[in-house]
Structure 1
């Protein structure tokens, strides 16, 4: 594989005989080094915030911010209303693995068992997500673009892939769901895996848009999508999507039912406001009550630095969305865009708007590893693809491959530099329990 150069053109990326195995080996090596650095730094940097001491007196590098809630839920279940913002699947898995480790060591489960189980799960899930991202990108684009996308994915601007957080496992289950749906056409398995994603993060409920959109429009190019075609496909295909869609949303509904039974039905004191609503969904209430989540609520002067932190992701997303919109205007000089890619881009656009206007915007720094479109946007912007065999001006995302040359763009240099610098800074901030997280 040839190194990307910024000055003179270099031969286009040559993919290894076993690129998936190469990705797995590289991913394991990166995680091992990163986890080792986190452990060493935790012994050198004192913690600014002492909230982890409520769980353990030992300074575990994985015990920060939301992970404190996760460990508390693993140990004691959902004790406090604000904990209902976190979906239960990761905590259940950590409980199972922690008990297994404790059993092997011949003692009761301890915080150390939970933390290192979470670190291991996240590292393995992230490596798996990297491999699946490569295979999915090969199917939708081609090997050269896929290997570039995966390399960029492996230097994310966040330490989360080495931490007991939900994002790595959410990324793995989401990427696998999309792969099963688009490549294998296994809609029932897709519904099961999307349900696992939903069990990790509540935002997984929006994956139903991907499932429904791809299910209705699979195999079409954008230029063939018309109201008549959509109506016919809605009548002939919607029946096979009912069970997968029901599976996708079921974990969200189950946690709402559990919350009502635990915090409302059995509560002998004054009822909470969400308990008295017509649809007693606790998730929205908790996000508003404890984290002030709402439209433009985060847009205040003190939060400007946090809003600007993920700006490179938003900028590359704007460029990627622009490219896909232009590609949808089919001409003789542009290839047809697959409907599956369009659906993924629509979902991506909605999630970017949600994170920008209705969330704590800086969480995109860790949520970026859960969206494949972000990395297609980055790969498309980071490199100028000069293909000798095609001078027709076709969209770069579609002509990558064959004999040609690549050149690292200014955006690519800035992106790689930003990722390296911010991932280092964020690792130190995480260990010291400093915001943002």
Structure 2
């Protein structure tokens, strides 16, 4: 492990390329087109190299058709507004640049560009997650933990959705960047600097872009809401200072940027269907005229407990592992401080270093709890009102469960190797039990991603 962590980015790249190559092989050799004819009807393979045409066809399944079409001509039909404006716009921008500057022009260009963006975004997000984990866990064990967490993102149960023409990998990249900037805006010192406040502004910008890519990015606004409440409470109880006021202003603007990532696409749709339409749609007259909410309700039948039918029990069973992992890891953030306090007693000796370690542990716990809030909220909302099976791919953009799993693997492995020389108390027993489950989870992730990849490429459920 030390050899891998000494050159983490090169090692992660090697793991990433190997896994992606395996998934693409499974994709290419998966069974025939099943009952999907939409890809061939769009003539996506015309003028494309054979291998690119084959990969493009296999990876353009399910909702990828919507992303392809909206990238070509924009959002035209009402139901298309359930799909990312930001992701489709980015694909369209890149393809237009390629057509004008490189003279590349064939029917499958949007597909190939979208697939390339998905791969690149996933690869970069792996490195960003590594950096995020190092920022949250800056101690001696942090390097190994960060490397494992980044590897876990490579083997995410989202599987081929992180390679196909879907917005998951782009959302994960932007979301992780927003989380990293948010974490870096804190220090053990109680007062933030101007540079740190600038970082939280950039965090809001990243989360706003993430929200244009996937609407659940809006949940990341909870980071700024919590920080704003904490600052207001501090100002009311300990007095107003320039540093606190500057920080509160930065947090407020960051929250607004995140919200704009959701509101701007809604306004564009409102102009199209309500202001420039002789026969406005029914949702235009609602108190909050959100096309996204209407489309989710009217076209996809999302709503409170609507998915709770007997026929969907198998889909709840498929989603169960990820829902449990996301819920348990969010709960773990409530107990991480005592766990790490016990760890630090064997690593720190001087009184000064103990004080420093205590402050570090407090900050780690505080940051993890903040990052866990959007994750647990998404898990609850998906369980109650969405098509529950999509949690396996939406979970890819939330870092806490990766960090929990990596933490348990590192601590559990260390205890398992040296348990003869370690007093096995209640905490150690709990971690050893979690370590056993964590190893099972890793096996589940790899197997699920591989099987799901074959099913996706063959246009077979679940998706």
Bin for the TM-score computed over the shorter chain: 0.7 to 0.9
TM-score under structure 2 length normalisation: 0.79
Tell me the distance in 2 between the aligned counterparts of 1:419 and 1:241: 36
What is aligned with 1:72?
69
Indicate how the Cα distance of structure 1 residues 84 and 354 shifts in structure 2: closer, same or farther if over 3 A, else same: same
Question: Which digits, 9 at most, give the CA deviation of each residue in 1:33-76, with x for residues without a partner?
Answer: 423442343xx522322233443364611211111001111112
| SS, match of residue 166 in structure 2 | coil
What is aligned with 1:135?
131
- Could you tell me which runs of 5 or more consecutive residues in structure 2 were left unpaired when the two chains were aligned: 46-53, 186-195, 344-360
TM-score under structure 1 length normalisation: 0.83
* Structure 2 contact 201–253 (Cα < 8 Å) conserved: yes
* Structure 1 contact 211–245 (Cα < 8 Å) conserved: yes
Tell me the distance in 2 between the aligned counterparts of 1:193 and 1:313: 25
Question: Which digits, 9 at most, give the CA deviation of each residue in 1:143-175, with x for residues without a partner?
Answer: 121122222222122211211110101100110
Indicate how the Cα distance of structure 1 residues 230 and 166 shifts in structure 2: closer, same or farther if over 3 A, else same: farther
Matches within 5 A, 1:172-183: 172-183=173-184
What is aligned with 1:267?
277
- Could you tell me which runs of 5 or more consecutive residues in structure 1 were left unpaired when the two chains were aligned: 2-12, 219-223, 401-405
Task: Work out whether 1:430 is the aligned partner of 2:445.
Answer: no
Tell me the distance in 1 between the aligned counterparts of 2:39 and 2:307: 26
Matches within 5 A, 1:4-403: 16-41=5-30, 44-56=31-43, 58=45, 60-103=57-100, 106=103, 108-110=105-107, 112-141=108-137, 142-157=142-157, 158-184=159-185, 185=196, 186-214=199-227, 228=237, 237-269=247-279, 271-327=280-336, 333=342, 336=362, 338-382=365-409, 384-386=412-414
| SS, match of residue 61 in structure 1 | helix
| SS, match of residue 291 in structure 1 | coil
| SS, match of residue 16 in structure 1 | helix
Q: Which has the higher helix share?
A: 2
| SS, match of residue 6 in structure 2 | coil
What is aligned with 1:417?
443
Tell me the distance in 1 between the aligned counterparts of 2:106 and 2:97: 8
| SS, match of residue 338 in structure 1 | helix
Aligned residues: 409
| SS, match of residue 59 in structure 2 | coil
Tell me the distance in 2 between the aligned counterparts of 1:260 and 1:349: 31
| SS, match of residue 390 in structure 2 | helix
Q: CA deviation at 1:360?
A: 0.8
| SS, match of residue 333 in structure 2 | helix
* Structure 2 contact 330–400 (Cα < 8 Å) conserved: no
Aligned CA RMSD, in angstroms, stands at 3.2
Tell me the distance in 2 between the aligned counterparts of 1:395 and 1:139: 25
Tell me the distance in 2 between the aligned counterparts of 1:393 and 1:145: 23
What is aligned with 1:403?
none
* Structure 1 contact 191–248 (Cα < 8 Å) conserved: yes
Tell me the distance in 2 between the aligned counterparts of 1:308 and 1:226: 47
Question: Which digits, 9 at most, give the CA deviation of each residue in 1:126-151, with x for residues without a partner?
Answer: 11111111111122121121122222
